[in-house]
């Protein structure tokens, strides 16, 4: 694999790590929010988690298509 493709895959994997972290954080927030206005906040956080998951899927597919291996790491 050429250096340019390796560099691109590395960058895409870093983005994938960030999207995975977003999923975890948004879901966590949806679990812990409380109060009389909880419903809309839960919906908003879960919608954001779903959007991050969509992005993660797209990144994983692209990494695989380029011959790389999608990371399982979650950005801290």
pTM value surpassing 0.95: no
pLDDT in tens, 11-62: 999 999 999 999 999 999 999 999 999 999 999 999 999 999 999 999 999 9
Q: How many CB atoms lie within 10 A of CB 17?
A: 19
pLDDT band at 1 (very low <50, low <70, confident <90, very high): confident
Q: How many CB atoms lie within 10 A of CB 12?
A: 19
Instruction: Say what the pLDDT of residue 76 is.
Output: 85
Instruction: Say what the pLDDT of residue 65 is.
Output: 98
Rg (the chain; Cα; Å): 15
């Amino acid at each position: 694999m050429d250096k340019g493709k390796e560099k691109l895959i590395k960058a895409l994997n870093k983005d994938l790590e960030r999207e995975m972290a977003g999923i975890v954080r948004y879901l966590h927030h949806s679990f812990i929010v409380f109060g009389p206005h909880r419903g809309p906040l839960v919906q908003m956080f879960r919608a954001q988690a779903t959007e991050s998951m969509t992005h993660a899927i797209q990144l994983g597919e692209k990494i695989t298509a380029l011959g790389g291996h999608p990371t399982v790491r979650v950005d801290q």
